[in-house]
Amino acid sequence: MVSTAAIAQEINWMTFEEAIAAQKQNPRHIMVDMYTNWCGPCKMLDKNTFQNKDVVKYVNENFYAVKFNAEGNDVVSYKGQTFSNPNYKEALKNRRNSSHQLARYFKINAYPTIVYLDKQGEVIAPIKGYQKPQQIEFYLKMFNSGDYKKLKDQQSFNDYSKAFKPEFEM
């Protein structure tokens, strides 16, 4: 008999369009992991952060999670526009490729970047760089709770950040 604790939990990843459609039925925030195939910190985020049981549980309960290759060739509809990667080259699929139009729309210039969308599908913020579980916890909880709306300047953000008490295990 296999113990349920031994079964690895995973984030319930979906496509960008699946998340937007699900959001219309049951509003939730969306977390979009913008990655590339060649990005080392992206792989670390997958291995260390997105496998953390606290991160998995919180994301699955509170967000629609999207894994989006920012240099891939998916065609995506968002806000009445269609986004693709017309300069994508199949031969480069595991090396640097051209940037996807959706990544450019979100102004992504570093990987990984996690783009958070509110319950109406509007961008809250793109957060650049590798994050450990307790670092991503800060953003997940701040955006999910709506506390970010109260932070009007750098000082209020700094105060909020200092007061935040992480609960996720490392």
CB atoms within 10 A of CB 109: 11
pLDDT band at 2 (very low <50, low <70, confident <90, very high): very low
Query: 46-96, pLDDT tens digit by residue?
Result: 999 999 999 999 999 999 999 999 999 999 999 999 999 998 887 766 678
pLDDT at 93: 62
pLDDT at residue 5 is higher than 70: no
Which one-letter DSSP state was computed for residue 114? E
pTM confidence score? 0.90
Residue type, 163: A
Per the DSSP assignment, residues forming a β-bridge with 113 are: 34, 128
| Structural domain 4-163, CATH architecture | 3-Layer(aba) Sandwich (3.40)
Q: With 60 as the cut, is the pLDDT of residue 7 above it?
A: no
- Predicted local distance difference test score (pLDDT) of residue 90: 77
pLDDT at 6: 42
> What residue spans of the chain are helical by DSSP H?
16-25, 40-44, 53-62, 101-105, 133-145, 154-163
Q: 133-145 vs 53-62: helix axis angle to the nearest 10? A: 20
DSSP letter at 81?
E
Give the mean pLDDT of 141-169: 95
Q: Which residues pair with 116 in a beta bridge?
A: 31, 125
If you average pLDDT over residues 127-149, what whole number do you get? 96
In the numeric block, which tokens belong to residue 80? 């009445």
